């Protein structure tokens, strides 16, 4: 028989698939901008730790997910509750101009920063006149 502590730990370790089906999900606020060499995606994901972020490429889409402790948020005694509770999920169609092998991501202070480098073939080039 397991004690309550073990039950809480097991409950907290739900798989990503179980969480997608059974927990609330919200879209994080995102900025996307570009330079000559890269696109940058910045997503606000407050309360998400590095261990609870999942980024994947599937079928031409970039998927970002971040998990928070949904049960803890539900059990708070709110005086004011304006922030939508839930895990974070967002999906973006990416073009073939992205070099998928060089995508880089960092999470700092609840902000996920993803660098999406452009393939050399789509970067602007100057042509010298002879």
Q: Average pLDDT, whole number, for the chain?
A: 86
The residue written with tokens 């967002």 in the block is: 90
Task: Tell me the H-state helices in the chain.
Answer: 4-12, 16-22, 70-74
Exposed, middle or buried: residue 5 (CB in 10 Å: 0-12, 13-18, 19+)? exposed
Tokens of 48: 């998400």
How many Cβ atoms are within 10 Å of 125's Cβ, its own excluded? 8
User: Which overall architecture, per CATH, does domain 4-122 show?
Assistant: Sandwich (2.60)
Tens digit of pLDDT for each residue in 36-65?
899 999 999 998 999 999 999 999 999 999
> For the chain, which residues make up each domain, given as ranges?
4-122
pLDDT of residue 29: 96
pTM score of the predicted model: 0.78
pLDDT above 90 as % of the chain: 56
- Is 92:28 a contact under the CB 8 Å cutoff? no
Tens digit of pLDDT for each residue in 74-122?
888 999 988 888 999 999 999 888 999 999 999 999 999 999 999 877 6
Residue 116's nearest CA partner among 53, 52, 64, 49 is 64
pLDDT of residue 73: 80
Three-class secondary structure of residue 128 per DSSP = coil
In angstroms, the CA 93 to CA 98 distance is 11
């Amino acid at each position: 028989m397991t004690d309550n502590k073990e039950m809480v730990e097991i409950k907290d370790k739900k798989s990503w698939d179980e969480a997608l089906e059974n927990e609330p999900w919200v879209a994080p606020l995102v900025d996307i901008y570009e330079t000559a060499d890269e696109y940058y995606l910045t997503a606000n994901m407050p309360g998400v730790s590095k261990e609870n972020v999942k980024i994947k490429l599937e079928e031409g889409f970039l998927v970002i997910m971040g998990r928070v402790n949904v049960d803890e948020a539900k059990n708070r005694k709110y005086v004011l509750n304006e922030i939508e509770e839930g895990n974070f999920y967002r999906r973006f169609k990416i073009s073939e101009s992205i070099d998928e092998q060089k995508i880089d991501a960092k999470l700092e202070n609840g902000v996920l920063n993803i660098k999406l480098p452009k393939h050399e073939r789509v970067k602007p080039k100057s042509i010298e006149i002879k």
